[in-house]
Amino acid sequence: MTNIKSKLNCIVFVLILSIGPVFAAEKMLLENEKNSISIFQNAASSIVNVSNMKIGRGLFNIDATEFEAGMGSGFIWDKSGHIVTNFHVVENGESFLIAFKDDKKQYRAKLVGADPKKDIAVLKLIELPRLLNPIVVGESKTLQVGQKALAIGNPLGLDHTLTTGTVSALERKIRGYGGVSISGMIQTDAAINPGNSGGALLDSQGKLIGVNAMIYNGAGAQSSAGLGFAIPVDTVKTIVPQLIKHGKVIRPGLGIAVLEEYYAARFGVLEGVMIKIVDPKGPSAKAGLRGIRSDRQGQYYIGDIITGIDSADVKSFDDLYTILDKYKIGDKVKIKYIRDNKEKIVDIVLTQV
């Protein structure tokens, strides 16, 4: 009996010696450090690496070869295997490979839908791994400047990297990859580099508050300069379900196509949006708006120039898109436009586009 007790005491002593340094090291950590470590350990399995694959053929090789054309990050949205990432990460991809933390296998995925104007895309895994850990979704409307922000992604191809910082500013309007500005962007000084795109921006509770987006700075560089931007999660929660259900985002519209600003300027239109084409079945046609037209002699006449919607001024296509994005299908708006140098106003009910 004495021998048994002695052996047990030895085992306990060895365990104390081996575990002791761990407890000591953990005790020395600051609360902020413990929080960051906990968030990474809990959320890292929800973050994935996204490889954009294309098919190529060599000059003297008729066999098709798959190669990686680009890569970025993404995160698991649900148990069905939907992956959320940036549109520019998957743009022009022919197939996609998804890599999970601590899993050597790569899983194929297909594109479900994308919204270039908001730089968001949804992929779906063709084969599911044994375990899926969807990201915990938070909200962005309650964010405050100064609160903690953590970015997890795969910058420069480095697997599952954590960077920390703060929410530097809110409601930033940044020109995105879809040719229009994305409103409500979150600015953070958590380092965001190439490969971080599509990854998660988290709060101190480990909840998703935004999708990291690689935005070019004024010099066109793609390296972090303390100015990272993320698409707010409230926008993501609106768009992703539509992409999963419809493959696209259903938005309210006027039923028109506008003339590109470069060509409009050649007509002397420097402010406002000139209508190029009016959908004959759309609300603008019913309201009597006109696009560019010509007579039998080949003489062209400029289209109506939209200058405002309700109380908001429209000076560019970017303004037009941003303003309409705040409305819903079925809303009635007042359109201010110029025809023959005279300002006119007409009511239009927005329809699905």
Taking every pair of C-alpha atoms in the chain, what is the biggest distance, in angstroms? 114
CA separation for the pair 291, 279 (Å, rounded):
9
CA separation for the pair 293, 217 (Å, rounded):
40
CA separation for the pair 15, 8 (Å, rounded):
11
Which residues partner with 162 through β-bridges?
152
C-alpha of 341 from chain center: 41
Q: Which residues are catalytic?
A: 88, 119, 197
* Non-local CB neighbours of 244 within 8 Å, separated by 6+ positions: 82, 112, 113, 122
The Cα angle at residue 176 between residues 174 and 178, in degrees rounded to 5: 150
User: What is the β-pairing status of strands 200-202 and 208-213?
Assistant: antiparallel
